[in-house]
Structure 1
C-alpha cells in the first residue's frame, strides 16, 4: 500500500461523523422541505437506516480484503482490466463529487460571507488548504479531526439550545399529510447525499481493519443525528414553506437566535461548523481519489497527483453548474440516481461476485 500511516478505530469514527455532517447540515433541510414537506425528519430517519444497511455491505466486502482499498480489491475480484475499469469509474465519481463540494463552498462564501470576493479566489484558497492536508496524510488529518470535533459539537449544541424557545410543534403537523411516497423520495435523496462508500478507501489504513464496521456505523449514526436535528429545527422554527425557499436553511435558522446585545452574528457559528465539516469531507474525497488513482495506475506515490488533480478540480468546480437554481434541480434528481450506482450497485455486485467465486472454489475443493 502506498500510504503507511495508520488511524485508530476512534479516529475513523470521528472522521465518519464529520464526513457525514459535511455539506448536509446546510443543504439537506431545504431539500427535505421541498420533497417531504414537514415530514422531512422522517425521511432522514429512513435515509439513515438505508445508510447503515449499506455500511453492512461495505463492511462485509472490506472484511474479505482488509488490507486492500476498493480500488485494489476490484482487480482481485474482477480481474486486472475489468477491475481497473470499475476502479477508474468509481474514482471518477469521487472526482465529480469533490468538484461539487468545492463549488458549494464557493457559492456559500460568496453569497453569505464575502459577497465581494470572486468565487474563483474562494475556491482556490479552500483547495490549497485541502491539498496541504492531503499531502500530510490521513493520519495527520485524523488527528486534526479529533481536535475539531468537540468544537463542532459544542457550537451545534449552543445553537440548538438557543433555538428551543422558538420551536412550534404545530409546524410539524399533520404527519404523513401527503402519504408515504414523498417521504420515501426524500429518504432516497438524503441517502444519496451521504456517499459513505468513499470511506471504504480509509478502512485498510486503520489499525484494526476487520473491526472498522462499528466505527463506520457509530460515526454515521452520530453524524446523522446532527442532520436530523437540523431538519427538525428548520421545520419547527422556520416552517416548511420558508425552509424550502432557502437553499441554506440552517444558516438562515441560526439568524433567528437572539442573545442580547453582547452576542451578534450568531449565524457565523453555523458557518464555522459547516466549513470544518465540509473541509474534512473534501479532504477525505481528495485523498481517496488521489490514492485510488495511484493504486490503479501502479504509481509509487499518490502525493504527486495532488497538485494536478487540484487544478482540474478547481476548473471543473466552475463548470459543474451555473447557479444555485440549477444545482437544486440537478442534485436530487440526477446526481442521486448516478450516486446509487456507486453506493449500492457496484459494492453489492462486487460482494455477490466474490461470494459466488468463493462458493465455487469451496465446491471444487470439497469435490
Structure 2
C-alpha cells in the first residue's frame, strides 16, 4: 500500500462532512434557486435523499475487497489493462474536480477579499498549503480535520441562531408553483455536486481501521452534510428570497451580511468565509490526495509524494484554462456537471458491481488472485 497511515471512523466521518460542506455551502443555493425558485429547499431535500442512496451504493463497493482502494479495485475486477484505462479516466475526473475547486477559491478571494491580487497568486499560496498536507499523508490530514471541525460547527451555529429574526415566510410561497419538473431539475445539481463526487472516498476506505464502521461513518457523514445543505437552502430562501439568491453567486456570504442583532452584532460575513475556507481546504486536499495516490498506482510507483509538486503546477494552469470566468463556471455547472458526474459517479460504479457479480457467478471471481494481479 502506498499510504501507510490509518484513520478511525470518526476522522473519516469528519472528512466526509467537510467534503460535502465545502464549496456547496456557498454555490449550491444559487444553482437551486435558479432552477426551482422558491422551491429550492424542496429540491435540496429530494437531491439529498437520492444522494444518500448513491452514498449507500458506494459503501457496497467499499465493502468489496476492502483492503484495496478504488483504483486497485478497478484493476482487480476489470483486469490489468482495462482497469488501468478506467483508473486513468477516474484520475482525470478527480484532477479536474480539484482544479475547479482551486478556481472557486481564487474567484472568491479576488472578488470579495483581495480584488487587486492576481488570481494565480492566490491559488499558488493556497495550493502550497494543500501540497504540504498531502505530502504529510492521510493521517495528519484527518487529525487536523478533527481539530478544526468544531470551529466549523461553531461558526455555523452562530449563523443559524442569528438569522431567524430576518425570516420572511412569504419568500417560500407559493409552494410547488412551477410543478415537479423544476424541483427535479434543481435536485440534479445536489445529486451531482457534491454526492456523486464523494466516490473519491473509496480511495480512503482501505485506510480506515474497521470497514463496518467506515460504512456507517460514510453514510452518517453524508447525512449530516446533506442536512446542512438543506438548512442553508431554507435559510437563504427565507431571508434573501429566490430571485436575489439566483442572481447572487455566493448567496450564503450575502446571507451573513443580513445578521443584525440590536445594531451591535452585525456584518459577520467573515464567519461564513472562515467556515468555507476550512471546509473547502479539506475538499481540495482530499481531491488532490486521491489524484496523486491514484496516478502513483497507475504508474506503479512506490510512493506518491514526488508527484505532488508537478501535479500542483499543472493544476494551477488547468484551473485558469478550465474556467476563464466565474460566469462561465456557473453556466457550466448545470449543463455539463450532471452528465459528467453521472458517468463516474453512477455508471462506472454500477458497471463495477455487475462485472464483479458476473465474475463470481462464473467462478472467475478475483478473490483467489494475489493483490495487484489482473484477470
Quote the residue 1:200 is aligned against: 202
Instruction: Tell me by how many angstroms 1:176 deviates.
Output: 1.0
Quote the residue 1:275 is aligned against: 277
Instruction: Tell me by how many angstroms 1:362 deviates.
Output: 8.4
Quote the residue 2:159 is aligned against: 159
Instruction: Tell me by how many angstroms 1:263 deviates.
Output: 4.4
Quote the residue 1:291 is aligned against: 293
Quote the residue 1:65 is aligned against: 65
Q: Deviations over 1:171-211 (max 9, x none)?
A: 11111111111111111111101111111111111001243
Quote the residue 1:236 is aligned against: 238
Point out where structure 1 has 5 or more consecutive residues left out of the alignment: none
- Do structure 1's residue 28 and structure 2's residue 28 form an aligned pair? yes
Matches within 5 A, 1:47-86: 47-86=47-86
Q: Deviations over 1:108-156 (max 9, x none)?
A: 0000011121111100000000000101111101111111111101111
Instruction: Tell me by how many angstroms 1:260 deviates.
Output: 4.8
SS at match of 1:67: coil
Aligned mates of 1:57, 1:360 — CA distance in 2: 23
Matches within 5 A, 1:91-106: 91-106=91-106
Matches within 5 A, 1:1-367: 1-194=1-194, 195-260=197-262, 263-361=265-363
- Whether contact under 8 Å (1:48, 1:224) holds in the other structure is yes
- Whether contact under 8 Å (1:13, 1:218) holds in the other structure is yes
Aligned mates of 1:109, 1:259 — CA distance in 2: 27
- Whether contact under 8 Å (1:67, 1:209) holds in the other structure is no
Aligned mates of 2:233, 2:164 — CA distance in 1: 14
- How many aligned residue pairs are there? 363
- Whether contact under 8 Å (1:72, 1:296) holds in the other structure is no
SS at match of 1:116: coil
- Whether contact under 8 Å (2:258, 2:266) holds in the other structure is no
RMSD between aligned residues: 1.3
Q: 1:362 to 1:101 in 2, by over 3 A?
A: closer
- Whether contact under 8 Å (1:66, 1:210) holds in the other structure is no
Point out where structure 2 has 5 or more consecutive residues left out of the alignment: 366-375
